[in-house]
Chain A
Amino acid sequence: NAGVTQTPKFQVLKTGQSMTLQCAQDMNHNSMYWYRQDPGMGLRLIYYSASEGTTDKGEVPNGYNVSRLNKREFSLRLESAAPSQTSVYFCASSDGTLKRSGNTIYFGEGSWLTVV
């Protein structure tokens, strides 16, 4: 029962370094998302991908890039990390449709990133 798996769980970066957060889902979902969570702010959408090969900006995309490598994987890249990017990052996936019977968005366990 893997669901949504994201790595790494913890990372410390120096300002200006780059890194990639990896995310994979095994539920055959079309849609995948990257959120960041900051204290008192709830979750804010960074980027999302409606389907393989497509990506779109969310609320706070500056400083990030994404790649939808295939249907399973959606990675988030910080090209030049800044202290303002210290946050908890969540990957999520869903089947991408709004059904009357309801649908669920599944989250990974989160990645704690600190930029010093």
Chain B
Amino acid sequence: AQKITQTQPGMFVQEKEAVTLDCTYDTSDPSYGLFWYKQPSSGEMIFLIYQGSYDQQNATEGRYSLNFQKARKSANLVISASQLGDSAMYFCAMREPPWRGSTLGRLYFGRGTQLTVWP
């Protein structure tokens, strides 16, 4: 079963409008972290925002906010006031806590959503 599901292969939004990119996750651990990354056409992975499972408030970073609905296991990314430079692939990722015998938690990625911002 997929740990991270991004159901929108592509999204289009007009400049200056807000857009929501969907992400649902699957885990039985009470402790986990959720990430969003941006990948522009140049290829690098850019960290955008992080939400911990115990965080009471939704994470915000400038124009990015994470709509965290724990009961629904969803972690949607909201980009306000879209800009042409926001056109990129966006990945949702989840990190589970370390398991017995290891200090490292695995990071699982969704398949991504290609966002296109038009003037």
Contact = CB atoms under 8 A, between A and B. Distances in A.
Are A and B co-members of a single complex?
Answer: yes
Interface of A: 30-31, 33, 35, 40-45, 48, 50-51, 56, 58, 88, 90, 92, 96-110, 112
Interface in B4-52: 4, 31-33, 35, 37, 43-45, 47, 50-52
A100 B109 contact: no
A51 B91 CA distance: 26
Contacts, number: 75
Interface string B42-82: 01110100111011000100000000000000000000000
Interface of B: 4, 31-33, 35, 37, 43-45, 47, 50-52, 54-55, 59, 91, 93, 95, 97-98, 102-107, 109-112
A105 B102 CA distance: 17
Contacts of B4: 42
Which 8 A-B residue pairings sit nearest by Cβ, starting from the closest? Answer: A107-B45, A50-B104, A42-B109, A102-B50, A43-B109, A42-B111, A110-B43, A50-B103
A87 to B, nearest CB: 12
- Say whether chain B's binding surface is mostly helix, strand, loop, or mixed: loop
A48 B104 contact: yes
Nearest to B91: A42
Contact of B112 (A31, A42, A58, A112): A42
Contact of A88 (B37, B43, B110): B43
A108 to B, nearest CB: 8
A104 B43 contact: no
A43 B91 contact: yes
